[in-house]
Amino acid sequence: MATPSLRALHVHPVKSLAGHAPDEAVVEPWGLAGDRRWLLTGADGTVLTQRSVPGLARLRAVPLRDGGIEVTAPGREQLRAAVPDSGPTVPVKIFGDKVEAVPAGPAADAWFGARLGAGTRLLYLDDPAHRRPVDPAYGRPGETVSFADGYPLLLTTTASLRALNAWIAEGDHAHEGPLPMNRFRPNAVIGGTEPWEEDDWAAVRIGEVVFRVVKTCARCVITTTDQRTAERGREPLRTLARKRNAGGRLLFGQNLIPEGTGTLRLGDPVRVVARRSG
């Protein structure tokens, strides 16, 4: 079997929007540089994601050198948003957390509001080192996360996706497969492993950076959303419910917390540092 290696990197500058796939990415304590530092909220200050707005998949955000973003949408002029000056923050409600963030400004709000409805706001996480702690059940004191669902990075493997697609092909919604990896919106994709081998990892080194593998990822309805068309199906949740169901948690991928910083590059070797006991 081939030596495990890093096959793809994905950075999503705006939570739940399409992102980009760089050849390398800097690892910061709270995630890949530029990953999920921005998000959208509705009029009530609650985060907007593809869970409730699948059409977000058709908006694409790429980072600019100054830390800003460029957003494109079908049939619309692009938006360029600069990192807002430090100033008054507003609270964001994100999965039970209340996090302070800086408004991007009326021009950005108007651009998104024209597509998503009045009251939509674009917000920026100005101080990721202090704004949002990792769940203390899995994180250590002082560890924080960006606007990602809960942990700094998400890892998936090509072997496990192949195994999942083989199961889908045997099921009653085979016409929906095979699914691409972008359904799972990972940060790091690893090749050269056995299917589901990552379930047993407790720590892994990718290139020059060591990560704790803290929690298998429970999947939601976003994985049923075609990331090109925003249309929804039944897979992979239907198959995961049969094959990867842990008390109602449908599992695919692993959540990571970095033990240090550094740069990840495509082709970096991957080495298991520790395995889970039991």
**pLDDT score, position 270:** 98
Tens-place pLDDT, residues 63-101: 998 899 999 999 889 999 999 987 899 999 999 899 999
| Mean pLDDT on 209-221 | 98
**pLDDT score, position 252:** 98
| Mean pLDDT on 175-199 | 98
Please give the model's pTM, rounded to 2 decimal places.
Answer: 0.96
Please say whether the dihedral angle defined by the alpha carbons of residues 216, 61, 117 and 235, taken in this order, is positive or negative.
Answer: negative
Are the C-beta atoms of residues 42 and 119 closer than 8 Å to each other?
yes
Q: What is the mean pLDDT of the chain?
A: 96
CB atoms within 10 A of CB 73: 18
| Beta strand segments in 82-229, E | 90-94, 97-103, 121-124, 153-157, 188-191, 201-206, 209-218
